[in-house]
């Protein structure tokens, strides 16, 4: 996957707006979606979905899922 930070604030504390990653197929291919990391949760926005309509998951739920792989 090609993953690009769409916006980046040098202050590494994650703020309410979060950090947004653009995810594409390798070599600048198809745009798969955006991943937004925020203080309280993560949001996956498939394709061109707006952040308000994305799939939200809490950090704890993500951690539980990742640790049980």
> Phi, psi at residue 60, to the nearest 5°?
-65, -40
> What pLDDT shows up at residue 7?
67
pLDDT of residue 20: 87
> Torsions phi, psi of 46, nearest 5?
-65, 135
User: What confidence score (pLDDT) does residue 3 get?
Assistant: 80
List the domain boundaries for the chain: 2-67
The pLDDT of residue 48 is 92
pLDDT per residue over 4-62, tens digit each?
777 665 555 666 778 888 999 998 899 999 999 888 899 999 999 999 999 999 999 99
Specify the long-range contacts of residues 10-19, CB closer than 8 Å, at least 24 apart.
14/38, 14/39, 15/39, 18/43
């Amino acid at each position: 996957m090609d993953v690009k930070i769409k916006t980046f604030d040098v202050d590494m504390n994650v703020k309410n707006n979060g950090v947004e990653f653009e995810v594409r197929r390798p070599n600048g291919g198809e745009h798969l979606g955006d991943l937004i990391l925020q203080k309280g949760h993560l949001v996956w926005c498939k394709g061109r979905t707006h952040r308000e309509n994305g799939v939200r998951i809490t950090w704890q739920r993500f951690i539980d899922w990742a640790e049980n792989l």
